[in-house]
Amino acid sequence: MKLYYTESSPPCRTIILLANILNIKLELILTSPKKGETKTAFFLQMNPQHVVPTLVDDDGYVVWESRVIAKYLLAKYAEKSDLYPSDFYTRLEVDKVLDFDLGTVFRRASDYIIPILFTGKTDPTKTPKLDDAMNVLSEILKRGNSNFIVGKKLTIADISLITVVSSLEAAGYDFSEYPSIVSWLRNIRNTIPDYESIGVKGELAFKTMIDACLK
């Protein structure tokens, strides 16, 4: 199974962390969008959206979008895993958080981070919407009364979110006003197997990229 990825990418990190939990061996193929490697004829044939991560299964089936890849791996290789609960309503809660992550957290985090990559500094006009997203995330955690985003166990919602939130942390976003998020971050880092060697490695790659851009 091949995964076309970029080391600093939060969505790529999500899939690598999940595959490790599921004991799925991936052939990791480093792919740089910056160098145009996702716009070659070969890559576009696989994925017209030209994004990483892109997964190619052993049978040649191609999947892209990290949250879809995560569901695919669980449905095909770990159908009964608690990472994507079988209980109808618990799974809906996980799906709600994944959509919140994709449509709000990741989008606003990207809006906050992209100016750093292109101008070397943050754009203050992007911070209020990001703050609002973090307020919502904090409230979800408080209402759940748990160190996990859904229920009392680790799910793919936690794995997807931590890669985005930890990247914001690496980019210098201040989480001191969100103790529930700080506590959740610590718990998820301690819960995900091999986070020190996989997750932290990706965080450092992201931080190195950001630090190189900051003026």
Q: What is the pLDDT of residue 8?
A: 93
> What Rg, from alpha-carbon coordinates, does the chain have?
17
Among residues 9, 66, 138, 166, which one is catalytic? 9
Query: How far lies 102's CA from each of 33, 98, 132, 187, 194, in Å?
Result: 20, 6, 15, 22, 25
Question: Do strands 62-64 and 54-56 pair parallel, antiparallel, or not at all (unpaired)?
Answer: antiparallel
pTM of this structure: 0.95
9 as an active site residue: the answer is: yes
Cβ-contact 56, 1 below 8 angstroms:
yes
pLDDT of residue 78: 95
Q: What mean pLDDT is predicted for residues 145-161?
A: 94
Rounded mean pLDDT of the chain?
A: 96
Burial (Cβ within 10 Å: 0-12, 13-18, ≥19) of residue 80? exposed
| Three-class SS state of 164 | helix
